[in-house]
């Protein structure tokens, strides 16, 4: 569980970093460079490509790479159109989708504690995103819709990767995910005006080393022994991290009601993590 919590903390810092980087680099180019550089750096860990080939070209790994890549493609486009904190919130709508998908495809039983944890955490997400001012819902834009699509894609990745994760070592599986995400995102680079400046280098390297290489390793280590719903709820810690960093680094303001929403998210995480 500790690996999963650390992954959520690391990934939560990616939302402000992406927002900062997007001022100096186009979204799809940032996405491709992020995963391509992670793939290249991690390649130095291996003496031979043959050792990785079985994982990279495994059918199951390829299939789960599709929702993984789609979630990032949608996220990077969404974050260009909405705020870092709102992106984090809509992206983390995955527990709702998982609560629906899991019983249908995995036949897992959702326990009463998981149900309560999901309701409390998602109530916190709604509180933070609206500040209980529901007139904000009328201001939902294209970026918010795309971010919600990320939540669905990420839910599909969590649910259908459960068994795949147990069959491959974290570094090799993450390496394969970097490869396929780069390949799948590459065509989208040509669909937008390409721009890049040296100012984007620092946030890009942060995204590559910490939120990609370190973040995926921690996630794949931590997810092996927990259910998909528990995974998605613990990952909601991203919301808290993005909330705090966006406030101090991006000067996004929050009310006391939104702060209560963050505490509700944390309560849901504690409920599902408690044994």
The confidence score (pLDDT) of residue 36 equals: 95
Q: Give which of 54, 62, 19 is closest to 161, Cα–Cα.
A: 62
Q: Give which of 225, 231, 237 is closest to 267, Cα–Cα.
A: 237
Give the Cα separation of 103 and 206 in Å (integer).
Answer: 37
SS3 of the chain: helix, strand, coil, percent, to 5: 80, 0, 20
Contact 177, 65 (CB under 8 A): yes
The confidence score (pLDDT) of residue 270 equals: 79
Give the Cα separation of 248 and 34 in Å (integer).
Answer: 24
The confidence score (pLDDT) of residue 209 equals: 92
Contact 31, 151 (CB under 8 A): no
Place of tokens 């963050």: 262
Q: Give which of 32, 36, 10 is closest to 21, Cα–Cα.
A: 32
Domain extent, residue 137, equals 2-273
* Domain total of the chain: 1
Q: What is the pLDDT along the chain (275 residues), one digit of tens a residue?
A: 788 888 888 888 887 788 788 888 888 899 999 999 999 998 887 665 666 777 888 899 999 999 999 998 888 777 777 765 566 667 777 888 888 787 777 666 777 887 888 888 888 877 776 667 666 555 667 887 888 898 889 889 988 888 888 888 888 899 899 999 999 999 988 888 888 888 888 989 999 999 999 999 998 888 877 877 778 888 778 777 777 776 666 566 667 777 788 788 888 877 776 65
Cβ atoms within 10 A of the Cβ of 160, count?
Answer: 18
The confidence score (pLDDT) of residue 266 equals: 82
Using DSSP's 3-state secondary structure scheme, residue 272 falls into helix
């Amino acid at each position: 569980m500790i690996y999963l919590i650390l992954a959520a903390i690391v990934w939560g810092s990616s939302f402000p970093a992406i927002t900062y980087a997007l001022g100096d680099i186009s979204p799809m180019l940032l996405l491709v460079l992020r995963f391509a550089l992670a793939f290249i750096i991690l390649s130095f860990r291996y003496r031979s490509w043959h050792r990785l080939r079985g994982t990279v070209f495994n059918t199951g790994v390829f299939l789960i790479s599709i929702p993984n890549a789609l979630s990032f493609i949608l996220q990077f486009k969404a974050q260009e159109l909405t705020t870092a904190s709102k992106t984090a919130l809509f992206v983390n709508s995955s527990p709702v989708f998982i609560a629906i998908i899991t019983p249908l495809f995995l036949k897992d039983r959702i326990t009463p504690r998981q149900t309560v944890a999901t309701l409390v955490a998602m109530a916190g997400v709604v509180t933070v995103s609206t500040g209980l001012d529901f007139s904000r819902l009328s201001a939902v834009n294209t970026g918010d819709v795309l971010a919600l699509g990320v939540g669905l894609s990420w839910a599909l990745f969590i649910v259908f990767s459960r068994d795949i994760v147990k069959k491959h070592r974290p570094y090799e599986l993450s390496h394969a995910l970097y490869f396929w995400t780069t390949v799948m995102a590459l065509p989208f680079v040509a669909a937008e005006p390409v721009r890049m400046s040296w100012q984007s280098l620092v946030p890009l390297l942060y995204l590559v080393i910490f939120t990609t290489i370190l973040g995926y390793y921690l996630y794949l280590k931590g997810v092996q022994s927990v259910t998909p719903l528990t995974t998605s709820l613990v990952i909601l810690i991203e919301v808290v991290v993005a909330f705090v960093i966006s406030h101090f680094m991006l000067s996004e303001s929050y009310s006391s009601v939104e702060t209560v929403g963050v505490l509700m998210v944390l309560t849901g995480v504690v409920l599902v993590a408690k044994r």
